[in-house]
Structure 1
Amino acid sequence: MITGELKSRIDRVWDAFWSGGISNPLQVIEQITYLLFIRRLDTLETLEENKAALTGAPIRDRLFAHNQQHLRWSRLRNKDAESMFEIVDKQVFPYLRELGTTVGGDGSAYAEHMKDARFAIPTPALLSKVIDMLDHIPMEQRDTNGDLYEYLLSKIASAGVNGQFRTPRHIIGLMVSMMAPRPDDEICDPACGTAGFLVAAAEYVRTNHPAVLSDTAQLKHYHRCMFHGYDFDSTMLRIGSMNMLMHGINSPDIRYRDSLAETAPDEEGRYSLILANPPFAGSLDYEQTAKSLLATVKTKKTELLFLALFLKLLKTGGRAAVIVPDGVLFGSSTAHKTLRKTLVEDQKLDAVVKLPSGVFKPYAGVSTAILFFTKTESGGTDDVWFYDVQADGFSLDDKRNPVEPNDLPDVLTRWSQRTTTERDRARTDQSFLVPKADIVAQGYDLSINRYKEIVREEIEHRAPLDILADIEALDAEIAAGVANLKAMLA
């Protein structure tokens, strides 16, 4: 996490945009993303030049042709404001838009998502000021780059605009830790937004399986085949791609796709791990929805269709951790019941973790839970682990200030013990196991309140006749006082 002077520098960049007339936080981050990408291209070109100087070998594929050298960040930053603005507007952005299709370009998702880049900085003075500020931010270290971009993304939520695109980082961290991604996983988020789940999964693998960085085959898989994210918002794709780049993943598969549409490519059984927070109650073109999903669950509810999609995308043995609205757990429609029955009977439902309703504030107060399941196509649900999270380390109001109560570490600890000591837990505890037979008996209802036992403290009350006697005594005392008052006034 960034602190101190670096944090202050980024805040000053943000403030410069706002005072310069760009107040939409997504647009601010988008423009910063473009500038960071330009700086990244210059860094890559410099690395190739240094390598060529050391080896004596020529540079095969330049990012900048001989007549484009003036477009490089290292050249731009020394221009006067008017010249800089003219070059960026008329030459750099057209170059970015063509980069994805140019032979010898960056050859990655980042170049592809720059093809509709639009320059929106209104004045030469603002551009010059921002480039100067960004130039003084150190970006040589992967950890610093990642933390920098995460801090920028946190401003989406704190600004209260379009925060629905960003799942709280600590909730993502919990889900990733519980799933424990492996170096051989292929991980997908079909509604990736800013790619927070994919970034967290990458960091987990890098930290817990360091050999992935030294083994040539594993490293290639890590950079090119491990991470897949889809979204139909081009701004989110650019931001998500840059988020991955800043965290050191060179060529993730981040693509434009309406995951629920009939036109989406058939990738049945491709992925070993899905991490997602799909949109709830989103707009849906029912006529364009994939027929294969409607065959599984006939509904217009996006959260149910995404669950059906996850089951389709997972390979046998694949795992999923996904956030769903509470209605998925107890909804009474045929689609709700069918999907829950499928998870319990045909697949292996591992856990239901109930989240407090304030987790997504200030921009949403919806009650949610995390479903954990494994695709087996042959059942396997014996016991389902339930946990009732009551505190996540932040206040559950719109301010979401840090507080001491936090159940998330306990969730992770007890998750690892769910097949051992958790079996001895009572239904009155915060976490417990529920046998499949009990869930079937309840019509596949997965709401924790259906199974949790509430302990009510026994309170002894006085006998009713004693209470009535006290009331009569008070009435008599009041009557006597009124009589005395009348006597005094007579």
Structure 2
Amino acid sequence: MINNQVRSDIDRLWLDFATGGISNSLIIIEQISFLIFARLLDMEESQHERNALYAGESPHYFFRVDQQTLRWTNWSRMSDGEAMLKFVRDEVFPHLRILGGKKFTFGEYMKNVSLQISKASLLVLVIEEVEKLPLGNSDTQGDLYEYLLSKLTTAGIHGQFRTPRHIIKLMVGLVDPKPFEIIGDPACGTAGFLVAIMEYLRQSYSIPEFAEIFEGGSKSHVGNQLEDNHAHIQHGMFHGFDFDATMLRLAAMNLMLHGVKNPDLHYMDTLSKVFPEKFPAIADGEKGGLDVILSNPPFKCTLAEDVHPSLLKIVQTRKSELLFIVLVLRMLKSGGRSAIIVPDGVLFGSSKAHLAVREYLLDHNQLEGVISLPSGVFRSFAGLPTAILVFTKGGRSQDVFFYDAQADGLSHEEKCLENADNDLSDVLIQYRHWRNGESDFSDRTAKAFKVSAADIRAHNFELSINRYREIRHQEVKFEEPKVILARMQMLEVEIQRDMAELEAMLR
């Protein structure tokens, strides 16, 4: 958890860019990410130098003897701003581009990047602010970058938008990932889901007494029971794909600052014909696949002709929101589970493609839950009503859990301020009760209830919660009209009397 001072430093850093002539939020975060990476490389080099004293190894890892001037600690202290700007642009950034993925996956996404800061005065200010950031504290690194990403209000070039963190945390809780599983997101964006899974594992596999308590009561969990899975977490657990290189750079940095230095991230359109050819062990559950997939894929995109035929066998459509459901099911292992966000149209659309996807979910897999999200959750980005689908690959659906979440604890009218109304924690509680058979959930007037698969089939596979929720009408008794009229006449008499008294006072 970052404190108010760190937030203030980041806000000032952001303001520096805006007043310096750079207002695009994607460019700002990219440039900050590059500079953070440059500083982290220097910090890692210093750590390697200290370790090499005891191991008898070469003290240089990222920077050779003749490259020491390229280290953050050297060039960031230049007194001449113009000289610093030229050196960073012409020497430091080219060095970052050729480092590749040495130790950090983020390095792979430095290819073809450039310094977008053209004013020496701006670079000096930005360097001073980045120097203040507590990058040496692993407990705050991730939260620091999450706060930076919260300023990302610009949608990606392919229509992606950032998923609110509290919605991500709910979805992670719904699928309950394990530290030995293989996890992915076919449209990962800034890797919000993958990061949240890492945080969930740290919290779930920590000894409580080792948690660090910060000001305000928040806790930092070190995940000290994850040691046996450390290699898997660093190199085999996390897989992300996106067709926006900028998003992948932000994803790699986000994961690195949350303690995952080598996630498997790739520039790829996962709906294309090329995807299963390049990544057969990930793209096809029959050849490998994933245990868990969490995703918020792009909505309302009509795709070109490059869709893989295996997806079109299930559903003849070019709508991305339908194809991604089929893609996720193809990528999952048998018994693998997923939670994904879909626009409401997926739940009740009447086209052949909509019906085919819902039938496939219900009759050839296990649809576990349909959670209707509060109105306005994505208002800042897309303005679409949405829902979460929770399902398991294989089998056949029996009963389906429905929840009508009407409030998420935030006010969406102004600045997303917190308020007391919040159904999201109850969603997770009720879902776990339902999974554990702790209640029959037969009352369809409640927020949480179940619907049999047979009932859903009888209603053309519709998954809209309003189709099945029952509204209990209460009889309202009104007074007789004569009684109401008599009361109105009495009020009129009183009004006339008061008017007469006022008139007398004005004489």
In structure 2, how many angstroms separate the alpha carbons of the residues matched to 1:424 and 1:281? 34
Residue among 198, 201, 204 paired with 1:202: 198
Aligned to 2:117: 121
Match of 1:155, SS? Answer: coil
Determine if contact 2:202/2:226 at 8 Å carries over to the other structure.
no
After TM superposition, the structure 1 stretch with the greater mean CA deviation from structure 2, 423-432 or 193-202, is 423-432
Determine if contact 1:230/1:256 at 8 Å carries over to the other structure.
yes
In structure 2, how many angstroms separate the alpha carbons of the residues matched to 1:288 and 1:175? 30
Displacement of 1:425? 4.3
1:129–1:424 Cα change, 3 Å: closer
Residue among 253, 262, 271 paired with 2:290: 271
One-letter amino acid of the structure 2 residue matched with residue 124 of structure 1: A
One-letter amino acid of the structure 2 residue matched with residue 384 of structure 1: V
One-letter amino acid of the structure 2 residue matched with residue 296 of structure 1: I
TM-score (norm 1): 0.90
Can you give the 5+ residue segments of structure 2 that lack an aligned partner in the other structure? 208-222, 493-507
Displacement of 1:396? 3.2
Match of 1:422, SS? Answer: coil
Aligned to 1:58: 58
1:98–1:46 Cα change, 3 Å: same
Match of 2:291, SS? Answer: strand
Instruction: Check if 1:130 corresponds to 2:147.
Output: no
Residue among 475, 478, 483 paired with 1:458: 475
One-letter amino acid of the structure 1 residue matched with residue 275 of structure 2: A
In structure 1, how many angstroms separate the alpha carbons of the residues matched to 2:374 and 2:115? 41
In structure 2, how many angstroms separate the alpha carbons of the residues matched to 1:283 and 1:399? 32
In structure 1, how many angstroms separate the alpha carbons of the residues matched to 2:177 and 2:433? 18
Displacement of 1:255? 1.1
In structure 1, how many angstroms separate the alpha carbons of the residues matched to 2:473 and 2:118? 63
One-letter amino acid of the structure 1 residue matched with residue 14 of structure 2: W
Match of 2:151, SS? Answer: helix
In structure 2, how many angstroms separate the alpha carbons of the residues matched to 1:425 and 1:144? 45
Displacement of 1:299? 0.5
One-letter amino acid of the structure 1 residue matched with residue 425 of structure 2: P
One-letter amino acid of the structure 2 residue matched with residue 345 of structure 1: D
Displacement of 1:86? 1.2
In structure 2, how many angstroms separate the alpha carbons of the residues matched to 1:4 and 1:107? 32
Determine if contact 1:340/1:444 at 8 Å carries over to the other structure.
yes
Instruction: Check if 1:320 corresponds to 2:316.
Output: no
Instruction: Check if 1:354 corresponds to 2:372.
Output: yes
Aligned to 1:93: 93
String of CA shifts for 1:381-406, please: whole Å, max 9, x gaps. Answer: 11100000010001133532211110
Determine if contact 1:276/1:323 at 8 Å carries over to the other structure.
yes
Residue among 299, 310, 327 paired with 1:309: 327
TM-score (norm 2): 0.87
**How many residues get paired?**
463
Residues 74-473 of structure 1 aligned to structure 2 (within 5 Å): 74-80=73-79, 81-100=81-100, 106-157=102-153, 164-210=160-206, 217-265=228-276, 266=280, 267-269=283-285, 270-285=289-304, 287-376=305-394, 378-379=395-396, 381-397=397-413, 399-419=415-435, 420-460=437-477
Can you give the 5+ residue segments of structure 1 that lack an aligned partner in the other structure? 478-490
1:161–1:281 Cα change, 3 Å: closer
In structure 2, how many angstroms separate the alpha carbons of the residues matched to 1:52 and 1:97? 26
Displacement of 1:98? 1.5
String of CA shifts for 1:336-392, please: whole Å, max 9, x gaps. Answer: 11111111111000000000120012222210000000001x32x111000000100
Determine if contact 2:155/2:162 at 8 Å carries over to the other structure.
no
Determine if contact 2:443/2:449 at 8 Å carries over to the other structure.
yes
In structure 2, how many angstroms separate the alpha carbons of the residues matched to 1:354 and 1:360? 13
Aligned to 1:24: 24
After TM superposition, the structure 1 stretch with the greater mean CA deviation from structure 2, 216-225 or 238-247, is 216-225
String of CA shifts for 1:426-480, please: whole Å, max 9, x gaps. Answer: 10001011111111111111110111001112124578xx67x979x99xx9xxx
Match of 2:14, SS? Answer: helix
In structure 2, how many angstroms separate the alpha carbons of the residues matched to 1:426 and 1:215? 41
After TM superposition, the structure 1 stretch with the greater mean CA deviation from structure 2, 61-70 or 388-397, is 61-70
Displacement of 1:282? 2.1
Aligned to 1:480: none
In structure 2, how many angstroms separate the alpha carbons of the residues matched to 1:197 and 1:238? 15
String of CA shifts for 1:304-329, please: whole Å, max 9, x gaps. Answer: 00001000000001000000000100
One-letter amino acid of the structure 1 residue matched with residue 253 of structure 2: M
1:296–1:161 Cα change, 3 Å: closer
In structure 2, how many angstroms separate the alpha carbons of the residues matched to 1:213 and 1:141? 17
In structure 1, how many angstroms separate the alpha carbons of the residues matched to 2:485 and 2:166? 56
One-letter amino acid of the structure 2 residue matched with residue 226 of structure 1: M
Displacement of 1:217? 4.9
Identity of aligned residues (%): 46
Displacement of 1:199? 0.1
In structure 2, how many angstroms separate the alpha carbons of the residues matched to 1:161 and 1:258? 14
After TM superposition, the structure 1 stretch with the greater mean CA deviation from structure 2, 322-331 or 215-224, is 215-224
Match of 1:90, SS? Answer: helix
In structure 2, how many angstroms separate the alpha carbons of the residues matched to 1:137 and 1:421? 47
Displacement of 1:147? 0.8
One-letter amino acid of the structure 2 residue matched with residue 386 of structure 1: F
Displacement of 1:58? 2.8
1:291–1:160 Cα change, 3 Å: closer
One-letter amino acid of the structure 1 residue matched with residue 31 of structure 2: Q
Displacement of 1:227? 0.7
1:390–1:215 Cα change, 3 Å: closer
In structure 2, how many angstroms separate the alpha carbons of the residues matched to 1:68 and 1:84? 16
One-letter amino acid of the structure 1 residue matched with residue 29 of structure 2: I
Residues 63-74 of structure 1 aligned to structure 2 (within 5 Å): 63-74=62-73
Displacement of 1:138? 1.6
Determine if contact 1:276/1:322 at 8 Å carries over to the other structure.
yes
1:274–1:418 Cα change, 3 Å: same
Determine if contact 2:434/2:441 at 8 Å carries over to the other structure.
no
Aligned to 2:11: 11
Displacement of 1:207? 1.6
Determine if contact 2:103/2:261 at 8 Å carries over to the other structure.
no
In structure 1, how many angstroms separate the alpha carbons of the residues matched to 2:182 and 2:445? 38
1:356–1:458 Cα change, 3 Å: same
Match of 1:165, SS? Answer: coil
Determine if contact 1:160/1:362 at 8 Å carries over to the other structure.
no
Match of 1:292, SS? Answer: helix
Q: CA RMSD in A?
A: 2.3
In structure 2, how many angstroms separate the alpha carbons of the residues matched to 1:177 and 1:326? 22
